A and B are shown apart, each in its own frame.
Chain A
Amino acid sequence: MNTQKISFDYSAPKTLLIKLSGDWRISAGFPEAGQVVGQFDLHKEVTRLEFEASRLEKWDSGFMSFLFHLSRECEHRSIFFNRRGLPDGVRKLLDIALKVADAETVLPRPSESLLERIGGKAIEVTGGIRFLLDFLGEIAVGFWRMLRGKSYFRRDEFFYILQACSVGALPLVSLISILVGVILAFIGAIQLQLFGAQIFIADIVGIAMVRVMGAVMAGILMAGRTGASFAAELGIMQVNEEIDALKTLGISPVEFLVIPRLLALVVMMPLLTLYADFMGILGGFVVSAGVLGLNPTEYWNHTQSAVKISNLWVGLIHGFVFGIIIAVAGCLRGIGCGRSAAAVGEATTSAVVEAVTWIVIATAIITFICQVLGV
């Protein structure tokens, strides 16, 4: 049906005359501009494109897009695009569309070689590292000024953040930690049943939760919950010029916005770690006593004897370090956020990805150090 709307006439030398007919509205459908481009490929001698539209009935922006595409193609192939045969309205619209396109078109960047792209990436990474170091330096200065009572510290704001990253996170931390305890208990049971040593499930669950898993689970949850929230909150403040307003008042955004958040997470993460440890042990206990039929008292005694105070310290150190990582990643991305909604989304994603990555890296480093120290 569409092919009946267009026909090609080559009677004039070096000229393609397109005869248009019928309804060219989007709702009625129309031929693709590619058909005409195909004619250009078949008839390389064509240097002029003309139109005959006496039988054209109705048209809308569908027809305009067809012509717009053809016009660009003609420009690209140095073919003269003669608008004379088109209806007046179409000619005017085409003038506007092509004019706006010329004015708004961004000049294409020259293509970069592989070496240039590697160099560009290296400069970008160096800039990122410098930004991180500046940020950490500002945090250090901010803490020093806070300790000397010279920075502006809003207690209400601090307690609000403290509450948001503690009580608010408990339901999620509870659920995940209990389930991790349950999973550890089941996995342990499968192997230990072979040796009739199921009671050692208490040791596995207790040590794993207290030493690493409680902190890691709490850390990952807080990275997704609070780290993302920090990045989005500060990012939106950046978009709304609220951070600029702080700077022009001579207030350091790091002192005003970052230090309270960092402090809140550094205080809360070890506590959340303890809570996650307890919930994980509880999960393992419920499975062992309720499903695997172990003696609850014996299980509890085994847990107590297996979990040393050193394990607890290792877990708390994990929590403390994760608190710093999550707060720094969230605030760094928030403060460095661009000035658009998309930039806030990118900042939030980066904050979570970086925090989780660094949590895993930090866990590996702490585990290695503990191994070397024999802790």
Chain B
Amino acid sequence: MEKKLLPVIEARELSLNYDDYMVMRGLNFRVNKGDIFIVMGGSGCGKSTLLKALIGLKEPDAGKVLYGGKDFWADLVLQNQIMRGIGVLYQSGALWSSFTLGENVALPLQLYSNLSGSQIREIVELKLALVGLSGYADFYPAQISGGMRKRAGLARAIALDPEIIFFDEPSAGLDPVSARLLDELILQIRDVLGATIVVVTHELPSIFAVGNNSIFLDAEAKTMIAEGNPKDLLTHSSDPRVVRFLTRGER
């Protein structure tokens, strides 16, 4: 196994724009090893844009993203190396539609390991079983439900046992029971794989169920206005915008 980089993320004075439109500025935060770190905020506050900057899809306009102390955007070779140590579960699952679930999970293994075909098949079965999709390896994404697609996406995200896993709105579009099961899965994966997890969401039940650290982004301030454990923020935050969000506008 090749040596992986320290799975700690740090943002320093990060600014993100779309052309002339400023989305976020002056973001400073740190994700510690083993955290389930929540990026929360209302719709349109820039959560997904921030995620893109963290996973190599959008270059920041200013500031730095550091992985294990190394500048993620400074060097493409280093960036590729870091990206092999991260997994991403997209909002829609983002499974490749012309691949079966098994092929979706197998692709990262085929690309970045020297395992034999039978070893890869075994790992694929294991990963699918971990997310409750044992026996679905030969199904195509179009043949399964939205919740199952998300879980299959998660199986692909953890194919290479990444040290950091990003979740983009994992509960979006799921019924409450499926959403809770996915939350439990996130906790299990953190415990079993020892992964650091970053969850972008505005679903309060998920935020309180899984998060142990968080930042709160505000669309008007165009930056983060709170940081800390979501439960602590609920009880101790003096910022009315944060309290309003965390209490669904009831306080």
Which chain A residues have a beta carbon within 8 Å of chain B's beta carbons? Answer: 152, 157, 160, 236-237, 240-242, 244-251
Sample of 10 A–B contacts (CB below 8 Å): A152-B107, A236-B97, A237-B97, A242-B96, A244-B57, A245-B95, A245-B156, A248-B55, A248-B86, A249-B111
In the A-B complex, the 10 residue pairs with the smallest Cβ-Cβ separation, listed nearest first, are A241-B94, A245-B94, A241-B90, A248-B88, A250-B80, A248-B55, A250-B83, A242-B94, A240-B92, A242-B96
A237 cross-chain contacts in B, Cβ below 8 A: 96-97
Q: How many A-B residue pairs have CB under 8 A?
A: 50
B83 cross-chain contacts in A, Cβ below 8 A: 248-250
Query: Could you tell me the distance between the alpha carbons of A157 and B96 in the complex, rounded to whole angstroms?
Result: 12
A250 cross-chain contacts in B, Cβ below 8 A: 80, 83-84, 111-112
Which chain B residues have a beta carbon within 8 Å of chain A's beta carbons? Answer: 55-57, 80, 83-84, 86, 88, 90-92, 94-98, 107-108, 110-112, 153, 156
On whether A152 and B90 interact (CB within 8 A), knowing A240-B97, A247-B56, the answer reads no
Query: Could you tell me the distance between the alpha carbons of A241 and B169 in the complex, rounded to whole angstroms?
Result: 13
Please state if A242 and B55 are interface contacts (CB–CB under 8 Å): no
Please state if A152 and B88 are interface contacts (CB–CB under 8 Å): no
Interface of chain A, main secondary structure: helix
Query: Could you tell me the distance between the alpha carbons of A241 and B94 in the complex, rounded to whole angstroms?
Result: 5
A160 cross-chain contacts in B, Cβ below 8 A: 98
Query: Could you tell me the distance between the alpha carbons of A244 and B57 in the complex, rounded to whole angstroms?
Result: 7
A244 cross-chain contacts in B, Cβ below 8 A: 57, 88, 90, 94
Query: Could you tell me the distance between the alpha carbons of A157 and B100 in the complex, rounded to whole angstroms?
Result: 12
Query: Could you tell me the distance between the alpha carbons of A157 and B98 in the complex, rounded to whole angstroms?
Result: 8
Please state if B57 and A249 are interface contacts (CB–CB under 8 Å): no
A247 cross-chain contacts in B, Cβ below 8 A: 56-57
On whether A245 and B90 interact (CB within 8 A), knowing A237-B97, A240-B97, the answer reads yes
Query: Could you tell me the distance between the alpha carbons of A242 and B92 in the complex, rounded to whole angstroms?
Result: 9
Please state if B88 and A245 are interface contacts (CB–CB under 8 Å): yes
Within the complex, the shortest CB–CB distance from A252 to chain B, in Å, comes to: 10
Please state if B95 and A242 are interface contacts (CB–CB under 8 Å): yes
Within the complex, the shortest CB–CB distance from B231 to chain A, in Å, comes to: 30
Chain A residue nearest in CB terms to B82: A250
Within the complex, the shortest CB–CB distance from A39 to chain B, in Å, comes to: 41
On whether A152 and B57 interact (CB within 8 A), knowing A240-B97, A245-B96, A250-B80, the answer reads no
On whether A241 and B107 interact (CB within 8 A), knowing A247-B56, A247-B57, the answer reads no
Given A242-B96, A248-B56, A249-B108, 4 further pairs, Cβ under 8 A: A244-B88, A247-B57, A248-B88, A250-B83
Please state if A249 and B56 are interface contacts (CB–CB under 8 Å): no
B96 cross-chain contacts in A, Cβ below 8 A: 237, 242, 245-246
Please state if A242 and B97 are interface contacts (CB–CB under 8 Å): yes
Query: Could you tell me the distance between the alpha carbons of A242 and B96 in the complex, rounded to whole angstroms?
Result: 6
Chain B residue nearest in CB terms to A243: B94
Within the complex, the shortest CB–CB distance from B46 to chain A, in Å, comes to: 16
Within the complex, the shortest CB–CB distance from A35 to chain B, in Å, comes to: 40
Chain A residue nearest in CB terms to B166: A248
Query: Could you tell me the distance between the alpha carbons of A160 and B99 in the complex, rounded to whole angstroms?
Result: 12
Counting chain B CB atoms within 10 Å of each CB, which of A157, A240, A242, A249 scores highest?
A: A249
Within the complex, the shortest CB–CB distance from A141 to chain B, in Å, comes to: 13
B86 cross-chain contacts in A, Cβ below 8 A: 248
Please state if B91 and A241 are interface contacts (CB–CB under 8 Å): yes
Query: Could you tell me the distance between the alpha carbons of A241 and B90 in the complex, rounded to whole angstroms?
Result: 7
Query: Could you tell me the distance between the alpha carbons of A263 and B153 in the complex, rounded to whole angstroms?
Result: 29
Query: Could you tell me the distance between the alpha carbons of A240 and B96 in the complex, rounded to whole angstroms?
Result: 9
Within the complex, the shortest CB–CB distance from A348 to chain B, in Å, comes to: 17
Within the complex, the shortest CB–CB distance from A341 to chain B, in Å, comes to: 14
Counting chain B CB atoms within 10 Å of each CB, which of A160, A246, A248, A250 scores highest?
A: A248
Counting chain B CB atoms within 10 Å of each CB, which of A236, A245, A246 scores highest?
A: A245
Chain B residue nearest in CB terms to A236: B97
Please state if B111 and A251 are interface contacts (CB–CB under 8 Å): yes
Query: Could you tell me the distance between the alpha carbons of A160 and B86 in the complex, rounded to whole angstroms?
Result: 31
Within the complex, the shortest CB–CB distance from A74 to chain B, in Å, comes to: 29
Query: Could you tell me the distance between the alpha carbons of A152 and B57 in the complex, rounded to whole angstroms?
Result: 21
A240 cross-chain contacts in B, Cβ below 8 A: 92, 94, 97
Query: Could you tell me the distance between the alpha carbons of A251 and B108 in the complex, rounded to whole angstroms?
Result: 9
Query: Could you tell me the distance between the alpha carbons of A8 and B70 in the complex, rounded to whole angstroms?
Result: 74
Query: Could you tell me the distance between the alpha carbons of A240 and B83 in the complex, rounded to whole angstroms?
Result: 20
Query: Could you tell me the distance between the alpha carbons of A242 and B98 in the complex, rounded to whole angstroms?
Result: 11
Q: Which single member of A152, A241, A246 contacts B92 (CB below 8 Å)?
A: A241
Within the complex, the shortest CB–CB distance from B163 to chain A, in Å, comes to: 14
A241 cross-chain contacts in B, Cβ below 8 A: 90-92, 94
Query: Could you tell me the distance between the alpha carbons of A247 and B96 in the complex, rounded to whole angstroms?
Result: 12
Query: Could you tell me the distance between the alpha carbons of A307 and B200 in the complex, rounded to whole angstroms?
Result: 66
Within the complex, the shortest CB–CB distance from B124 to chain A, in Å, comes to: 15
Within the complex, the shortest CB–CB distance from A98 to chain B, in Å, comes to: 20
Within the complex, the shortest CB–CB distance from A238 to chain B, in Å, comes to: 11
B55 cross-chain contacts in A, Cβ below 8 A: 248
Counting chain B CB atoms within 10 Å of each CB, which of A152, A236, A244 scores highest?
A: A244
Query: Could you tell me the distance between the alpha carbons of A157 and B107 in the complex, rounded to whole angstroms?
Result: 13
A236 cross-chain contacts in B, Cβ below 8 A: 97
Within the complex, the shortest CB–CB distance from A123 to chain B, in Å, comes to: 10
A246 cross-chain contacts in B, Cβ below 8 A: 96
Query: Could you tell me the distance between the alpha carbons of A247 and B55 in the complex, rounded to whole angstroms?
Result: 9
